[in-house]
Amino acid sequence: MTTKRLRVLVLTCATRPNALGPAVGRWLTDTLAPDTERLGVDLVPLAIGDLDLPFLDEEEHPSTGVHHHEHTRRWSRIVAEADGFVFVTPEYNYGMPATLKNALDYLNPEWAWKPVGFVSYGHTSAGTRAVQHAKQVVTTLRLVPLGATVALRIADALRDGRLEPEARHADAAQGLLAELVRAARALAPMREREHAASVEGPLPGSYARRLGPDDAAEVTVLQRCCWMEEALANDTLAIPALHESPADVRAWLADWDTTGLWRDGRLLGTVRTRRIATDLHVGRLAVAPDLRGLGVGRWLLSRAESAAEEGDRIVLSTGAASHRNIALYERQGYVVLPGTWEQGVVDLVKLVAA
């Protein structure tokens, strides 16, 4: 359901002068260009030789994430930003190029839970032995190799010195990209849960992270589920959360500091905050209906309140007939502001002790 476009790094691994790899990489990206919009993916071509990576020269173990050299930090940023990879690799002496092994060895957590596909080329085996060699390494790094591959036998792919793969190779490339996109989306919860910015949630296997505009689709669905109950309790459909389009949600996600609680790719709850002077406004506290009573709402509210400073006033609102919500807030130390019942909405405040 996510609207986030995937970023797939197409890495050409050969560095030998006049190597066939750059031509194979160009053929691949050109062949797949018509499918990128339909699949919601951006292909980012990169040659391993442009990284200027010497043989591994970092003192710290890659698993620490501590990188002393700028070439390593740059490579780390590139890999961390990617959602998946396609390695365009030749076969050298029954194995992958040393340049690819070296690039893999530089990093560790940046690779985890991302799919990788292979486009190989060679003579007798069309590079497939290099792929088998590489798979032993990438699985150790928690990369997830695809079953779909593209294997080019050089003698069959060259016509008068020009690279002209057959139609079946283009079909295989399209199948590889489609499989990679499916795997990248399926693995997204694994990547997010282990991200440094994620926080362990209150339910087993859950995690929280800041939401952004790309999460608008999931937030829209959760709001419709949660605020329909509010509409019934308050006998009104005049509730903004019920009528906002994904574009509306995308707009306010860019302005509010919003936390989402996730598990296995499902958005379980949300809460948003925004500061106005010394008031911290809390809103859109939502918990999936089937998870109420498990402390999720209290946990999200506590996360929101952690943004308050000494002397602040925390302000939130709910429907005047939403007695369960009001009772929850009062148990957490909120008091109802006098004179706010008449409009069908109750404002509650909580002072943060100085």
pLDDT value of residue 342: 59
Chain-wide mean pLDDT for the chain? 92
Q: Is the pLDDT of residue 341 over 70?
A: no
Q: In which residue ranges of the chain is CATH 3.40.50.360 found?
A: 6-193
Distance CA 120, CA 130 (A): 8
The average pLDDT across 345-349 equals: 87
| ∠ CA 32-84-167, rounded to 5° | 25
- The pTM for the full model equals 0.77
Distance CA 277, CA 312 (A): 9
Comparing 221 with 231, the larger pLDDT belongs to 221
Task: With beta carbons less than 8 A apart as the criterion, state whether 7 and 82 touch.
Answer: yes
pLDDT value of residue 315: 94
Most confident of 80-84, 264-268, 311-315: 80-84
Angstrom distances, CA of residue 178 to CA of 42, 98, 183, 184: 13, 29, 9, 10
pLDDT band at 60 (very low <50, low <70, confident <90, very high): very high
Q: Give the CATH superfamily of 6-193.
A: Flavodoxin domain (3.40.50.360)
Reported as a single tens digit per residue, the pLDDT across 153-165 is: 998 888 888 899 9
pLDDT value of residue 3: 59
Q: How do 158-159 and 162-163 pair as beta strands?
A: antiparallel
Taking domain 207-351, whether its CATH number is 3.40.630.30 is answered by: yes
Reported as a single tens digit per residue, the pLDDT across 111-150 is: 999 999 999 999 999 999 999 999 999 999 999 999 999 9
Q: Which residues contact 43 (CB under 8 A, 6 or more apart)?
A: 8, 10, 29, 32, 33, 36
pLDDT band at 268 (very low <50, low <70, confident <90, very high): very high
Distance CA 318, CA 236 (A): 13
